[in-house]
Amino acid sequence: MNSQSSLMFQIQPSSGTPIYRQIIDQVSRLVISGFLKPGDELPSVRQAAGELEVNPMTISKAYSMLEAGGVLERMRGKGMIVASGQDSSKDIRKRLEIIRPILEEAVTQAGQLALPKESIMELLSELLEEKNE
């Protein structure tokens, strides 16, 4: 497979979220959703820094943390690839992790609004059914 264009990431430098975190989130998401598969190459630091117009150290930092987290592997002469064993397209739990932060936020807010559990579950079911219709 050809190496991906770095346009697979979109960054917003003036967001409160540091750029390296934006990249980590997006790569993780692409891997967990199965869009990037084990062995797929990531853009080089050079390419990504040049195209996104950001400090190369920011890209290196994101890649190193993704490597430490087991999402990426460093391939000699090839740069970064998606780690083997990262084929999570069939793993529901891993995909659930993507929406965990949004649900946690919803749970926090529901707590602050003193909403009963049954009402929240009811709303969630309703929303899911609407989507499936």
Partner 1 sequence: MSETVISINKLSKKFGDKIVLKSVDIEIPRGTITGLIGKNGAGKTTLIKCLLGFLKPSSGTSSMLFENSWELSNDVRHRIGYVPQDPVSMKWLKIRSMLDYTGAFYSNWNMKFIDSLLGEWDLDPDAKISTLSEGEKQKLAIIMALGHDPEVLILDEPVASLDPASRRYFIKRLIEMNLDQNKTMLFSTHIMSDLERIAADIVLLKEGEIAYKGNLSDLKDNIRRIHFQSTSDLPEMIPMNNVISSYVNKTTATFTVNGFEEEEIQQIGRDLSAFVTIEQLNLEEIFLELNK
70 near partner 1 (CB under 8 A): no
* C-alpha span between 64 and 116 (Å, rounded): 42
* C-alpha span between 50 and 45 (Å, rounded): 8
Q: Using CB under 8 A, which of the segments 16-24, 26-34, 73-81, 122-130 binds partner 1?
A: 16-24
DSSP string, 59-113: HHHHHHHHHHTTSEEEETTTEEEEPTT---TT-HHHHHHHHHHHHHHHHHHHHHT
Name the DSSP class of 53: T
Which residue reads 């909403």 in tokens? 115
Site for partner 1 in 94-133 (CB under 8 A): 108, 112-113
What SS3 class is residue 41?
strand
Q: Using CB under 8 A, which of the segments 1-9, 19-27, 29-37, 95-103 binds partner 1?
A: 19-27
Q: Using CB under 8 A, which of the segments 28-36, 52-60, 91-99, 119-127 binds partner 1?
A: 52-60
Kindly state the smallest distance separating residue 121's Cβ from partner 1, in Å: 22
Q: Which of 7, 29, 46, 69 binds partner 1 (CB under 8 A)?
A: 46
18 near partner 1 (CB under 8 A): yes
* C-alpha span between 48 and 111 (Å, rounded): 41
Q: Nearer Cβ to partner 1, position 18 or 69? A: 18
Binding region for partner 1 (CB under 8 A): 13-21, 45-46, 49-50, 53-58, 61, 108, 112-113
